[in-house]
Amino acid sequence: MNDLYDIIAEPELRDAALILALSGWVDAGAAGTEAAEFLARGGEEIVRFKGDEIFDYRSNRPVVRFRKGRMTEVEWPSLTIHRRSLPERDLLVMVGSEPDSRWRGVADSVADLMERFRVDLIVTIGAVPAAVPHTYPPPVMMTASSDELVGGDDVALGDDLDVPGAAVNVIADAAVGRGLGTLGYWAQIPHYVNEKYHAGTLALLQRIALRLDLDLDLSEIVTASSEQADRINELIADRPDSQAHVQKLEMLAEEGRLASGDEIAAEIERFLNED
C-alpha cells in the first residue's frame, strides 16, 4: 500500500503515453487542465492520490454546494489518473489541482506508476501569459528531455529561461531521472484575457494530436474558441486603447516574432505580481 495514492484499476495498456496538466501555476487560461479533461472524458479512473496527504485545505479549499439552503455536496480538490482508450493508442491522463506539499513524493510516485504501467513517454501541457493577440492562434512552445523527441513541426524553446517552477516540472524531472522521455507543450495566452481561454486549449490539443498521431474531434473546442473571440472583439470595440494594443500585438505576430525568454519571464513576473 502506498501512502500517497490508491490504484483503483490496473488495465492492460496499448502503446500508452501520459498526458499531465495541473491547475494553478503554469495553467494560464486553464488551457492545460481543460485540454487534459477533454482527453480524459469518457475514460476510467485508475489512480487517485490521497488528498489529505498532499493538499492544504486552507489554501486549496473544497467547494461546498448549497441548494435551496441545504448543503448537498462537498467537492474536494483531487489529483487523479484516468485511462482513455483511443483507436490509435491508450492515453493516461493525470489532471487535478497542483499539490500543496510533498512534490518530490508525488513526482517519485508518478515515475513509479509509469514504470509499473510500462509507459515511457510523459507529455506535460500548460500555458503562460504572453504578449500575444487573441486574433491569432496561440503560439505553442515546446520543451523536451532529448533532441530526438523534437518533432519537425515543434517550436522548441531556444532561450535560457529562469522562472518559478511548477509541480509538473518536478514530475517531469523525476521521470527523466528514471530514463523516461518527456515533452512539454506550453501555449502562450494573451495576457489581457482573464478567463478560460479556449483557443489555448485548442492549440494544445492540436499539438498533442499531431505529436501522438491521434484523430480527435475538436469541433466543440473550435466553436467555443470562435465564440469567445467574438465576445472579446465586442468588449474592446469601444475601447481605442485596447484596440491599439491588440493591433500592436498583431503587428508582432504578423512579423512572426516569438517572445524571447526574457519577455516571457517578464510577463510571468507581472502575472505573479497581479495574482
Choose among 189, 207, 187: nearest CA to 132. 189
Distance (Å, rounded) from C-alpha 122 to C-alpha 126? 13
Residues 140-179 have pLDDT tens digits of 999 999 888 887 777 777 677 777 889 999 999 999 999 9
Cβ neighbours, 10 Å, residue 263:
14
Residues 237-257 have pLDDT tens digits of 888 888 888 888 888 887 765
Q: Does the structure show a pLDDT above 70 at 183?
A: yes
Residues 29-63 have pLDDT tens digits of 999 999 999 999 999 999 999 999 999 999 999 99
Kindly list the domain boundaries of the chain, sorted by start residue: 5-274
Q: What is the mean pLDDT of the chain?
A: 90
Q: Percentage of residues in the chain with pLDDT exceeding 70?
A: 91
Angle at 175 between CA 170 and CA 181, to 5 degrees: 120
CA 247 to chain centre: 28
Under 8 Å between Cβ of 51 and 6: no
Report pLDDT for 214: 96
Tell me the whole-structure pTM to 2 decimals: 0.89
Choose among 58, 46, 197: nearest CA to 127. 197
Pick the CATH number of 5-274 from 3.40.1160.10, 3.40.50.10900, 3.40.640.10, 3.40.50.150: 3.40.50.10900
